[in-house]
A and B are shown apart, each in its own frame.
Chain A
Amino acid sequence: MGGRLYRHTDSELAVQETVFTRHGCDRIMRYAFDLARTRRGHVTSATKSNGIIHAMPFWDERFALMATQFPDVRTDQYHIDILSAHFVQHPDWFDVVVASNLFGDILSDLGAAVVGSVGLAPSANLNPEQQYPSMFEPVHGSAPDIAGKGIANPIAQIWSGAMMLRHLGESKAALAIERALEAVLARPDVRTPDLGGKAHTREVGDAIANEISVVAEP
């Protein structure tokens, strides 16, 4: 929320408010802890409570409180500046990272860049309670400069589909897609130009679809 006043004058100002609520913080943190339990049991919180002196200490309090409900989950927290540096230098330190909107936006692209795959990144916009539909899409938008040429990289779109299947309870099928796309990515002859190859979009999709029958568990 926010607004602008006194446009086109020397007094022009812009205000952007951040509102954190107990309900909003707790529900995302609970999701993070539950997710960590299915993985390596570690949650990291991104904060900046030494600078953002109202909202971030509140975020930290809610994180500490949520952690008491998950004594089996290891936790840590870092200010966003040093966390960004750790993402570059020690990405393997992290399992699940929970962050508010802006920090999360930044860290996710940074994380993807570190592993060399910004253009490959999928995303899920989840309503975990499944009261409403969830939405699955590539992180980055279309590439208008190559539109219509049939050489766009479909990996992020395909990977987003795997995330969707997992959310719908079909985790074996999701895993098969992920294994298939990873196997195909390891083949230099089936890469689109953004990855230095010469393949067309359709060839990559076909290769992954064919690979699924190979990697699927019986």
Chain B
Amino acid sequence: MASDMSVVPEGLRVLEAAGRSHHITLDLHHFDWSCQTYLKTGRMMPEDGLDQLRGFDAIYLGAVGYPGRGSYLFVGLLIPIRRAFQQYVNLRPVRLLRGIRVAGQRLSARTDRLLHRA
């Protein structure tokens, strides 16, 4: 699934490069369920959207959002997906990356991860 941003093609480009170098074939299906779709149709995803997604191994979602609009994308897209598909772990790594300048104290390059309930 993708939205309207230029970052998703880069994500796909890198995934394909990783697939080539590691002999992985990704079977990708594109769903244009974006804020533009909402503006045209009044829905972020079609009524049978969850059924369409159910058989996939993973959903790769682009950054969503549009000026002046907010809660409908959670109510109409993200929350139905998270609930229907029992995505009860929200995992967010926190890592000090080389090359990122951090003001203030020196940090050791330890990784920590954060997770919480959906």
Could you tell me which A residues sit within 8 Å of B by CB distance? 24-25, 27-28, 31-32, 35, 39, 89, 91-92, 94-101, 103-105, 107-108, 111-112, 114-117, 120-144, 147-148, 150, 152-154, 156-158, 160-165, 167-168, 170, 172-174, 176-177, 180-183, 185-188, 195, 201-202, 204-206, 208-210, 212-213, 216
Which chain A residues lie closer than 8 Å to B101 at the CB level?
116
A195 to B100, CA, bound (A): 8
Range of interface residues on B (Cβ < 8 Å): 35 or more
Q: How far is the CA of A91 from the CA of B93 in the complex (A)?
A: 12
Q: Is the CB of A160 within 8 A of B60?
A: yes
Residues 85-106 of chain B: 1 if any A CB is under 8 Å from the residue's CB, otherwise 0? Answer: 1111111111111111111010
Interface of A is mostly: helix
Report Cα–Cα, A94/B111, bound state, in Å. Answer: 8
> What are 30 A-B residue pairs whose CB atoms fall within 8 Å in the complex?
A91-B107, A91-B110, A92-B110, A97-B112, A99-B117, A100-B117, A101-B116, A104-B92, A107-B114, A111-B112, A114-B107, A136-B61, A137-B62, A137-B63, A142-B66, A147-B4, A158-B7, A158-B10, A160-B61, A161-B14, A163-B93, A173-B18, A173-B19, A173-B24, A177-B18, A181-B14, A202-B6, A202-B10, A209-B17, A216-B22
**A170–B21 Cα gap in the complex (Å)?**
12
Q: How many A-B residue pairs have CB under 8 A?
A: 283
Contact, CB under 8 Å: B115 / A176: no
Beyond A114-B94, A127-B85, A173-B19, 7 extra complex contacts between A and B, CB < 8 Å: A24-B117, A31-B89, A92-B108, A112-B92, A125-B91, A206-B13, A216-B21
